[in-house]
Structure 1
Amino acid sequence: MKTKHYMTLSDAEFLLNEAHQYVIQHNFNVSIAVVDETGSLLAMKRMDGAAPMTANLAVEKAQCSAISRRPSKLFEDIIKGGQMGFLTMQSFSGMLEGGEPLMYEGQLVGAMGVSGVKSFEDAEIARVAIEKFVAQQS
């Protein structure tokens, strides 16, 4: 029988805190969401000054990454390339860059989504937090 890894609330809070520290250093106002491997919300933060719509966008980006097991940028590139015939998700807003899957020992355990700054910066925030999380697990 295999061992199944999963994210705890403590893990989600660690990720939020790492991302929050990064955005404070860069003077960004964003929303940050952490979901489990099914795309269900575990925790989120919407910083003071972040636009209200960023809260939903952060969750949708995280869900897109969790369900697909890929960065949401992949789908943004597909849409930009005009190859969206296969996409049937309810919202295309989650398919913007800024959602990153969280893999642990080869297993998807969750994902992060960030919204509020340029999309490449949203993704960078998530990647930095995920890298620190993975390093802490070693």
Structure 2
Amino acid sequence: MIGPETIGPDLDTALLLCAAALATAKGLGALVSVAVVDGGGNLVAFVRMDAAEIAGPTLAVDKAYTAVAHRVATDVLGALAAPGGPLQGLASAAGGRYICFGGGKPLWADGRVVGGVGVSGGTVEQDVACATAAADRWPYAAPADSAS
């Protein structure tokens, strides 16, 4: 949980979020990788399902990082970064680390982003569903005006 000694999810909470994403993936028949990061984008927990795609681990971590860095879900960011959008070209910034398609969600507490979850390996819709399941297990609510 959140406390004065932490800036985001602790390991136990991060593993609960991973478990929620995995349960959803199993229900959808998807093979995914799941990452949970703290408010600085540092990895707290990571899991990869057997036979999940090889690009999934990197993408899951980067989706979580992107959600923290931009304080928005990566599918929302994707619309902003599309050709003609106000953030066009964002995907090529930061050495290509910013992921601008679904599967990353910020984690909020006390009106600030304190972590993120990223899921990769299924379809975009499956990744979003799994990331949403994980974020829904987070015990704090996002502000009403956030695009989480």
Shorter-normalised TM range: 0.7 to 0.9
Indicate the residue corresponding to 1:134 in structure 2.
139
Counting matched residue pairs gives 133
Unpaired stretches in structure 1, ≥5 consecutive residues? none
- Summarize the Cα distance change of 1:62–1:86 in structure 2 as closer, same or farther, 3 Å threshold: closer
Q: Compare the two structures and name the one with the higher helix fraction.
A: 1
Q: Does 1:46 align with 2:48?
A: yes
CA–CA distance in structure 2, aligned partners of residues 12 and 116 of structure 1:
19
Cα distance, 1:20 vs. partner?
A: 1.2
CA–CA distance in structure 1, aligned partners of residues 31 and 62 of structure 2:
18
Unpaired stretches in structure 2, ≥5 consecutive residues? 141-148
Q: Deviations over 1:104-130 (max 9, x none)?
A: 232212000001111122112111121
Q: Deviations over 1:38-91 (max 9, x none)?
A: 111111111112111111000111100011111111231123233315662211
Indicate the residue corresponding to 1:100 in structure 2.
105
Q: 8 Å contact 1:101–1:110 — kept in the other structure?
A: yes
Q: 8 Å contact 1:58–1:99 — kept in the other structure?
A: yes
Q: Does 1:14 align with 2:16?
A: yes
Which residue identity lines up with residue 129 of structure 1 in the other structure?
A
Q: TM-score, length-normalised on structure 2?
A: 0.80
CA–CA distance in structure 2, aligned partners of residues 130 and 33 of structure 1:
12
Which residue identity lines up with residue 108 of structure 1 in the other structure?
V
Which residue identity lines up with residue 107 of structure 2 in the other structure?
L
Which residue identity lines up with residue 68 of structure 2 in the other structure?
A
